[in-house]
């Protein structure tokens, strides 16, 4: 690579990093506890385990749970009923001020076997919610989310340019050399290069899937406006069908239509993920991969008959698969711990990058680059070192 | 050292660690049990590389 090309790549690396580092540090620091969101929620009592009921094998009526939920908040409307694949003894019932209100107003947990009310999730409160909002949208809604997505794109550009620079900076060094006898700066440069290159693939995947996640609202909005609108077309503008008392029938129809799948969540008539005249049951498969993919099953709310079901388009699948790859929640606690360790290494890469820039911002690039590369690996035979210089 | 040998010296370990990372990221997405174990081992590789380099230079 020519000296001119190296300098240009350095320019890209410096500016993409400088613009984004503050926000990336915020994302890495808030993201660290968010890796353990589920465990922390549980430890704080925000979520609960269903009681042991070995003698109960039956399934309670979901309609009865919905009726109980609506009795708790008579002014609200049903939005969704949901399950979690690894928690079959629980149903969640989500209400909103209206069926299509953007925010959920209450999130109740019911026992799937007895139908008993178990718990209400405390919405929009607590330190984890605060950290989540900082990580998700800086408390600024969609513009905040999209802004953080742009910072993620800068991260990708910074990783690519940093990788290009890794070659010339390391051309005389063995992998992982940390020169500690010369200067503190050189040691930090070597550490920045080592940690940057070993976390490269992981950080690129977490960064790019994070960017895809920031597009969730536009992606789902596009799907609602195209494929879902096409599926529910003839019902648009109609009066909203009642959902109370017809949830179990719709669920049974969806399960009969997709016998190999289980419900992930079901949107009720009037919700943006359904239509005024339909339930839409989003069914998931049972393998690790197919459990990520959802099949929307459209059920006529008045007749209880399945009307249509389709596979999701590629861009929604990309969003659904981006979620686990960003959260790290798909391989048990050991994977979460590794996620946390790699996140800490990424924080060191970011911080050392700032340190190196602060120390060298008044020194011309050619000067310190020359010095950094000339002080090669002492362990290397002189002949190899000399030859390396000519390349 | 030949140009090829030099490329391997600079890029051998980074490419191997990147491939291991990708295998680790994907294996748990496609299989439970063994897939999870493969992901733990493969994603521990970059962390182990850091520990090894730090220990060696200490």
Residue B41 has pLDDT above 90, yes or no: yes
Helical H runs in chain A? 3-34, 37-43, 62-72, 127-136, 141-170, 184-198, 200-214, 216-223, 229-232, 247-257, 314-327, 332-360, 365-374, 382-390
DSSP state of A235: G
A160 shares its domain with A13: yes
Closest Cα in chain B, distance from residue A30 (Å): 21
Least CA distance to B19: which residue of chain A? A201
Of A327, A357, A381, the one marking the end of a domain is A327
Domain contains A52:
no
CA angle, A106 then A215 then A312, to 5°: 80
ipTM above 0.90, yes or no: yes
For residues A148 and A86, what is the distance between their CA atoms, to the nearest angstrom? 31
A236 shares its domain with A319: yes
Chain B positions touching A166 (Cβ under 8 A) are 10, 14
A357 shares its domain with A282: no
Task: Mark yes or no for CB contact A198/B6 under 8 Å.
Answer: no
A180 shares its domain with A268: no
* Residue-level pLDDT at A56: 80
Closest Cα in chain A, distance from residue B4 (Å): 11
Domain contains A43:
no
CB pairs under 8 A between A and B: 102
Domain contains A33:
yes
Query: Which of A123, A53, A139 lies closest to A88, judged by CA?
Result: A53
- Picking from B1, B22, B40, the nearest residue to A331 by CB comes out as B40
Residue B31 has pLDDT above 60, yes or no: yes
A72 touches chain B (CB under 8 A): no
User: Domain containing A26: what range?
Assistant: 3-38+131-214+331-390
A281 touches chain B (CB under 8 A): no
β-partners of residue A107 are A94
- Picking from B6, B11, B53, the nearest residue to A391 by CB comes out as B6
A319 shares its domain with A244: yes
State which residues of chain A have pLDDT below 70: 234-237, 375-391
For residues B2 and A343, what is the distance between their CA atoms, to the nearest angstrom? 37
A70 shares its domain with A107: yes
What 3-state DSSP class applies to B53?
helix
Domain contains A48:
no
A319 shares its domain with A220: yes
DSSP state of B1: -
* Residue-level pLDDT at A378: 47
Closest Cα in chain A, distance from residue B29 (Å): 6
A322 shares its domain with A229: yes
B24-47 average pLDDT score: 97
* Residue-level pLDDT at A224: 95
Of A284, A312, A327, the one marking the end of a domain is A327
Domain contains A8:
yes
Cα A360 to Cα A66, A370, A372, distances in angstroms: 63, 13, 12
A163 shares its domain with A272: no
CA dihedral sign of residues A329, A32, B44, A354: positive
* Residue-level pLDDT at A328: 97
* Residue-level pLDDT at A293: 94
Least CA distance to B12: which residue of chain A? A175
For residues A1 and A369, what is the distance between their CA atoms, to the nearest angstrom? 14
- Picking from B6, B13, B28, the nearest residue to A388 by CB comes out as B6
A138: left (phi over 0), alpha (psi -120 to 50) or beta: left
Least CA distance to A292: which residue of chain B? B29
Burial class from Cβ neighbours inside 10 Å (0-12, 13-18, 19+) for residue A366 reads exposed
A289 shares its domain with A226: yes
For residues A105 and A76, what is the distance between their CA atoms, to the nearest angstrom? 8
Least CA distance to A171: which residue of chain B? B10
B interface test, pick of A86, A201, A337, A344 with most B CB neighbours within 10 Å? A201
A152 shares its domain with A284: no
A223 shares its domain with A322: yes
Domain contains A119:
yes
Query: Which of A275, A338, A316 lies closest to A36, judged by CA?
Result: A338
For residues A279 and A273, what is the distance between their CA atoms, to the nearest angstrom? 9
Domain contains A223:
yes
B23-36 average pLDDT score: 96
Contact A121, A47 (CB under 8 A): yes
Domain contains A47:
no
Task: Mark yes or no for CB contact B10/A167 under 8 Å.
Answer: yes
Of A283, A309, A327, the one marking the end of a domain is A327
Task: Mark yes or no for CB contact A166/B14 under 8 Å.
Answer: yes
Burial class from Cβ neighbours inside 10 Å (0-12, 13-18, 19+) for residue A368 reads middle
DSSP state of A227: I
On the CB side of A85, CA atoms within 13 Å amount to 17
Q: Tens digits of per-residue pLDDT, A378-389?
A: 444 443 444 444
Q: Tens digits of per-residue pLDDT, A317-359?
A: 999 999 999 999 999 999 999 999 999 999 999 999 999 999 9
For residues A264 and A291, what is the distance between their CA atoms, to the nearest angstrom? 9
Closest Cα in chain B, distance from residue A288 (Å): 6
A interface test, pick of B20, B43, B52, B55 with most A CB neighbours within 10 Å? B43
Closest Cα in chain B, distance from residue A1 (Å): 13
Task: Mark yes or no for CB contact A202/B25 under 8 Å.
Answer: yes
A interface test, pick of B33, B53, B56 with most A CB neighbours within 10 Å? B53
Structural domain total, chain A:
2
């Amino acid at each position: 690579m020519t000296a001119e090309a190296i300098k240009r790549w350095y320019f890209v690396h410096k500016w993409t990093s400088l613009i984004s580092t503050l926000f990336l540090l915020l994302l890495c620091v808030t993201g660290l506890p968010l890796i353990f969101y589920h465990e922390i929620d549980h430890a704080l009592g925000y979520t609960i385990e269903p009681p042991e009921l070995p003698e109960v094998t039956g399934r309670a009526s979901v309609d009865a749970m919905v009726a109980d939920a609506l009795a708790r908040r008579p002014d609200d409307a049903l939005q969704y009923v949901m399950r979690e694949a690894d928690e079959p003894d629980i149903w969640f019932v989500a209400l909103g001020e209206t069926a299509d209100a953007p925010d959920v107003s209450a999130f109740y947990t019911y026992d799937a076997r007895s139908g008993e009310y178990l718990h209400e999730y405390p919405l929009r409160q607590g330190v984890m919610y605060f950290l989540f909002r900082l990580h998700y949208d800086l408390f600024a809604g969609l513009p905040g989310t999209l802004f953080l997505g742009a910072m993620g794109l800068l991260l990708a550009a910074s990783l690519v340019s940093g990788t290009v620079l890794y070659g010339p900076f390391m051309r005389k060094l063995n992998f992982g050399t940390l020169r500690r006898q010369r200067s503190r700066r050189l040691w930090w440069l070597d550490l920045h290069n080592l940690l940057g290159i070993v976390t490269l693939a992981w950080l690129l995947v977490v960064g790019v899937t994070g960017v895809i996640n920031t597009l969730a609202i536009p992606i789902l909005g596009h799907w609602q406006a195209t494929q879902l609108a096409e599926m529910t077309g003839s019902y648009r503008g109609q009066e909203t069908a009642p959902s109370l008392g017809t949830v179990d029938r719709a669920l049974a129809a969806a399960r009969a239509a997709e016998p190999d799948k289980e419900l992930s969540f079901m949107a009720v008539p009037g919700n943006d993920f359904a239509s005024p005249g339909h339930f839409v049951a989003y069914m998931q498969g049972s393998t690790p991969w197919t459990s990520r993919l959802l099949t929307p099953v459209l059920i006529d709310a008045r007749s209880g008959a399945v009307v249509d079901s389709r596979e999701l388009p590629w861009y929604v699948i990309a969003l659904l698969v981006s979620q686990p790859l960003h959260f790290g929640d798909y391989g048990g606690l050991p994977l979460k711990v590794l996620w946390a360790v790699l996140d800490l290494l990424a924080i060191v890469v970011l911080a050392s990058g700032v340190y190196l820039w602060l120390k060298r911002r008044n020194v011309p690039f050619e000067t310190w680059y020359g010095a950094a590369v000339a002080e090669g690996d002492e362990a290397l035979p002189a002949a190899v070192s000399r030859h390396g210089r000519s390349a | 050292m030949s140009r090829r040998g030099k490329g391997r010296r600079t890029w051998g370990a980074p490419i191997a660690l990147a491939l291991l990372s990708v295998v680790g990221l994907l294996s748990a997405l496609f299989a439970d049990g063994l897939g999870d174990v493969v992901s733990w081992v493969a994603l521990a590789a970059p962390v182990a590389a850091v520990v090894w380099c730090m220990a060696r230079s200490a």
